[in-house]
Amino acid sequence: MRSALAGLFLSAILAFPAWASTGSIKVVWQPIWLADADGPLISAVTYVSDYMGQPGDVVRATVAPNAVMENGKPLSSNAAESWRLTLEVQEFEWNRVPDTLQVTLRVPSDTTRLERHTREVVASTAQCILFNTLAVSPDPPHFVHLKIDGSKRWKYLEGIHSLKNVRTPSRPMNLNGGKLQE
């Protein structure tokens, strides 16, 4: 009898999809900085809100604050947000997703406070932009035209990046030598 009730209960739960009360659930890739890390870790962060209501919002969230539990306390561990990186993402309509998404990443000139890791954070943020562009629905763009405002030292990350061979990872990852997956 108990197993039948448990089965009925599970059937009832599985019959209805999980919905947030007023928003949507999105997975966003961000460069995460942990206290004991020697560089950023690219990891997925879940957002539950109506914040993701516009096309391109999942890409904009690459640099948004998050709330990741570390040592039992919630904190924003987004390295892009900590370094005050910002994004400008081309506006478009749901039914008119562009073939090439225009994205500008702005890197403040005063990143010398953490100079040792700035290259890794900027490169990891650029990789997250590519991963997050794949989540643009219903049909993601095929390319990202990435511009970086700041120093000429980021020139190697700029350009038109094909998303044809980009695959979101199944677990957190480090960027291999600052080279983007494309």
- Give the pLDDT confidence score for residue 20 in this predicted structure: 43
* CA distance linking residue 78 with residue 92, whole number of Å: 26
- Give the pLDDT confidence score for residue 93 in this predicted structure: 75
* Residues contacting 33, CB < 8 A, separation 6+: 40, 41, 77, 78, 79, 82, 121
- State whether residue 102 is helix, strand or coil: strand
* CA distance linking residue 91 with residue 146, whole number of Å: 15
- Give the pLDDT confidence score for residue 1 in this predicted structure: 43
- Give the pLDDT confidence score for residue 34 in this predicted structure: 79
- Give the pLDDT confidence score for residue 114 in this predicted structure: 57
Averages of pLDDT over runs of 10 residues in the chain (182 residues) are 41 42 79 83 86 78 89 89 93 80 90 70 95 86 94 90 93 81 74
- Give the pLDDT confidence score for residue 31 in this predicted structure: 95
* Residues contacting 94, CB < 8 A, separation 6+: 55, 137, 138
- Give the pLDDT confidence score for residue 154 in this predicted structure: 87
- Give the pLDDT confidence score for residue 143 in this predicted structure: 94
- Give the pLDDT confidence score for residue 152 in this predicted structure: 85
- Give the pLDDT confidence score for residue 98 in this predicted structure: 86
Residue spans of the domains in the chain: they are 19-162
- Give the pLDDT confidence score for residue 47 in this predicted structure: 85
